[in-house]
Amino acid sequence: MSITFIIIAITCIVSILAFSRDQLKEDLLFWPFLIKREGQYYRIITHGALHADAMHLIFNMVSFYSFGIALEEYFFPVLFGELARALFALLYVLGIIASVIPDLIKHRDHSYYRSLGASGAVSAVVFSAITIQPKMPIQFFFIPFPIPGYIFGLAFLVLSATLAKKGGGNIGHNAHFWGSIFGIVFTYAAARLLSGVDLIQQFVAAVIN
């Protein structure tokens, strides 16, 4: 079974169980205050297996499947060979962690701040794919036409940064932004170090041509 399907299965099982078990959700969600005060560092990862409701879960997992399969089965094997699946799993798990580090620092003394969801890791996967194939067409149900990946990526980063600065609401825009940045950095560094490929040069060439 692929890493993509394993991640989706674990996330769906835990999320669905937590829909009707408030204590399970409370025990696993991202809570910087308790991470600092009680040393509950596992929350930095476990929150990625939780979702607020069915629509939140479906949207994240459909997005993850769409890009995750492409990375795991095609893009990463071309770049990394036998290391492809291990690096793909590492991208996802580290994406969960990296996307919430800024909020961990910012809200470590705020008992009211809590969050959940795999959006940071999903953003890392999406932007990893865009880094490798900048012109890949991206289309969601709310976008009636395909958009080149690099244009979507730029718009997404600007929007996430703007909404994160504005604050309010229940959507983790910070996690979206930093998960995306991590996906870019991880993919570029791995390709450069392990395969000798400069994805920045390839990205620029693909966009220009």
Compute how many other C-beta atoms are within 10 angstroms of the C-beta atom of residue 53: 9
pLDDT over threshold 60, residue 168? no
Q: What is the mean pLDDT of residues 47-63?
A: 91
Cβ neighbours of residue 96 under 8 Å, at least 6 residues apart?
44, 45, 47, 48, 118, 120, 121
- Cα 3 to chain centroid distance, Å, stands at 15
pLDDT surpasses 90 at 85:
yes
In degrees, rounded to 5, the angle at the alpha carbon of residue 186 between the alpha carbons of residues 182 and 188 is 120
Q: How far apart are CA 166 and CA 162, in angstroms?
A: 6
Helix (H, G, I), strand (E, B) or coil at 53: coil
Say yes or no to pLDDT of 169 above 90.
no
- Write the DSSP symbol of residue 142: T
Q: Is the pLDDT of residue 141 over 90?
A: no
For residue 74, what are its two tokens? 């095609």
Which contacts qualify for 135-143: CB closer than 8 Å, 24 or more apart? 135/206, 135/207, 136/70, 140/63
Statement: residue 170 has pLDDT above 60: no
Least confident of 24-38, 40-54, 157-171, 180-194: 157-171
Residue 157 CB burial class (10 angstroms; 0-12, 13-18, ≥19): middle
The answer on pLDDT for 104 being more than 70 is yes
What is the CATH topology of the domain spanning 3-208? Answer: Rhomboid-like fold (1.20.1540)
Q: What is the mean pLDDT of residues 123-134?
A: 94
What is the residue extent of each domain of the chain? Answer: 3-208
Mean pLDDT, rounded, for 13-27 = 95
pTM score: 0.92
Q: 160 pLDDT exceeds 80? A: no
pLDDT of the residue at 143: 67
